[in-house]
Amino acid sequence: QHIIVQFFKDTNSMVEALEAGQIDAVAPTILPSQVKTLEGYPNIRVVVEPGEEFWYIAVNVYPYGHGNPTLKDIHVRQALAHAINYTELAQVVWQGYATPAGGLLPVGNKFYDP
């Protein structure tokens, strides 16, 4: 027996190969809409488990001419951070498959410390 590892340029190509029976599994992450689609196939088993992938919003405060000078003000950055509804953002973008984090380490990480 052997395992063949195949790389795809995007999740759409990977999911299409799974639907066509060209591959046996996909990992590590597919989009929530793709999960919903795959759950409709009787011969495909979808397993959803917590992971340690994170997405974040960064502001450009680079001091050498490329950053936005307004964003250098800590109060502006704090206002932006408070203006974003992270719970709603996670719900809309990840359709319930994500949990907003208070930092870079997710709750399941052994180094996480609330």
pLDDT digits over 88-114, tens only? 998 998 888 888 877 788 777 888 877
Q: What is the pLDDT of residue 87?
A: 92
Residue 34 CB: number of other CB atoms within 10 A? 19
Contact by Cβ (8 Å): 49, 35? no
At 43, the pLDDT band (50, 70, 90 cuts) reads very high
- Coil vs helix vs strand at 111: coil
Q: Please tell me the pTM assigned to this model.
A: 0.64
Q: Quick one: DSSP state of residue 8?
A: -
